[in-house]
Structure 1
């Protein structure tokens, strides 16, 4: 089965090879303790080593890219309060961290090995005191499964993987990676896995931010039509990444088990104008609460895949965010749908992102 095959056929191919037990094992390893460069550095190094080992087993070449930034606006990684609360705002005097980037080694017949790549990313850190099974060991475990699935294709697609540092401090690692992508391998699009393992099947288990019913009537109506059940994956996109959102929806529909999807289009443009629009309409900033926002701001089409974190999961940013609260079967289907989308999405390269 080649990467260019149609969506249902590729979903079937990858579903046969996907293994929920591997995701369960990865989540359990990562989420047995909090991880953070500033509050649990040894745990971060342990998590990095686990990721690098798993990628090597799947045939990927991993590069650790350290960074050192100063006077960077962001937020605290202490739990409590909403992510958009002014009380969490911080200006970091100095932060030293590292992202992990992974590529498949080029093959002699691979003409696209040095061409534009779709990047799939997830953050590795947690807030203080939380083992972060959903936020975000779920995203990391899904990304490791994406690596296994894509690495097993006869003609692997041009995809790069990123395990970001310091998301909980204000997407610091992703902001560094998005900026340096202009000078390394070109990134044509980005898929972000953020808190994707929590599903709630009971009526009324899905909340929405204040004002969303008026701003996003279609998505709000879709949630109400499900009796407020938190049993879906939210796919947030912009016009530039609408194709990827539709690919992911089609793949999720064909997955096993099938995944309900609610899509939501952020009306802002990519780049600086989108940042300014968020300042003018603050509720829109809920749509940029993960590493994909750094790529939007850099002008790269991006998609957020999420279980909506605190709008569904009562254990968000708490010590109770543990592996036993996740649905590993549906998490595996998330990984399959993401791998299919990464394999088939070919967005045009944005101006200024070539070499």
Structure 2
């Protein structure tokens, strides 16, 4: 066993004893009590934001609320419904929102490269968003508690994004601001990570997926289309990080299968243009990690595949009792370990 592998194994044992599925459940229950939207449910969004900020501070993090005011941004609609809306384009004349960014005192995010762990706080209209995306926010909060207990503050930055459902608006702002202010080694995006099913046939694939991504499709087919795994979407720049996350999740208790899927596009604007020409790959950029990819920052998206598994996606029935909290704890553990041991590839 190499020194690095031994360090990961030790960290897995230490953090594995501390991660708490019931805390994750409590976070989701509180956050998913009502829809959260800066435009459609502003009071609920303010309550959710205050809760998240209070939890981060209680875990020892310094929280920076970063308002933004942007004009004429191409995005999407946030109306409810169980279909993905990546092509339902909308030009937003003006949007005002706020992201939350948190660092541990003494972590020196300016002097050394940081790993960003992020999730979006908002929901679509009419959905309480337990899976999409209180599950991701809950993982960020539990990671905050675990890392806040470490003797040496790690170079990890936590981010809660606004207006993801309007077209990644908040994360576009955050990626630009953070990349100008500090060096970013990588980013981990948590997107709809709480729903799992061992039922054969519970997992579907997007149209054209089996042809475009044969290895991942074969892995899903070998499992008889059971939705019991986390999909780890990455690019060449984050190959090693994706494999580290998969191995860590497999060693968690309960063990969580991970299927890695490499987006073949390069980081940067060229990747966006290729996505327009090859529609199946657009599904791989459906969350806030894409804002970091577009700035050539290595990133992972962790997801339960949203509408391709979850029948409650973007519906009023996306409620806390539909989530699997022991497996959400495994997502938390693997995410914390990957952030702390992010491979240096840049």
SS of match in other structure, 1:161: strand
Matches of 1:81 and 1:196, distance apart in 2 = 17
Q: How far 1:85 sits from its partner (Å)?
A: 5.5
TM-score (norm 1): 0.94
Partners of 2:6 and 2:157 in 1: CA distance: 20
Q: Assess if the C-alpha contact under 8 Å between 1:4 and 1:344 holds in 2.
A: no
**Which residue matches 2:230?**
233
The 8 Å contact of residues 18 and 336 in structure 1, kept in 2 or not, is answered as: yes
Matched with 2:100 is 100
1:3, 1:10 within 8 Å by CA — same for their partners in 2? no
Aligned length: 344
Task: Identify if the C-alpha distance between structure 1 residues 127 and 84 changes in structure 2 by more than 3 Å, giving closer, same or farther.
Answer: closer
**Does structure 2 retain, via aligned residues, the 8 Å contact 1:76–1:169?**
yes
**Which residue is equivalent to 2:45?**
44
Helix, strand or coil at the partner of 1:160: strand
Extract unaligned runs of 5+ from structure 1. 350-355
1:10-89 equivalences in 2 (<5 Å):
10-80=11-81, 82-84=83-85, 86=87, 88-89=88-89
Conserved 8 A contact 1:59-1:151: yes
- Which 10-residue stretch deviates more, 282-291 or 175-184? 175-184
Change in CA separation of 1:177 and 1:111 when aligned onto 2, cut-off 3 Å: closer
Cα 1:161–1:153, aligned 2, differ >3 Å: closer, same or farther? same
1:343 — aligned with what? 340
Go from structure 1 to structure 2 and tell me whether the alpha carbon gap of 1:142 and 1:111 turns closer, same or farther (over 3 Å shift).
closer
Deviation at 1:182, TM superposition (A): 2.8
**4+ residue runs over 4 A deviation:** 2-5, 110-113
Mapped partners of 2:131, 2:86: distance in 1: 21
Aligned counterpart, 1:168: 165
Cα 1:241/1:85, change in 2 over 3 Å: closer
C-alpha distance in 2 between matches for 1:314 and 1:59: 37
Q: SS of the counterpart of 2:267?
A: coil
Q: Mind listing any 5+ residue stretches in structure 2 that lack a counterpart?
A: none
Of residues 151, 154, 157, the one that matches 1:157 is 154
Please report the RMSD computed on the Cα atoms of aligned residues, expressed in angstroms.
Answer: 1.6
User: How far did residue 219 of structure 1 move?
Assistant: 0.3
1:1-355 equivalent positions in 2, closer than 5 A: 6-80=7-81, 82-84=83-85, 86=87, 88-106=88-106, 114-349=111-346
- The answer (yes or no) to whether the contact 2:130–2:320 under 8 Å persists in 1 is yes
Secondary structure of 1:42's aligned partner: helix
Q: Is the 8 A contact 2:77 2:165 kept in 1?
A: yes
Name the CA distance, whole Å, in 1 between partners of 2:343 and 2:25. Answer: 31
Post-superposition shift, 1:157?
Answer: 1.9
Query: Residue 113 of structure 1: CA displacement?
Result: 6.4
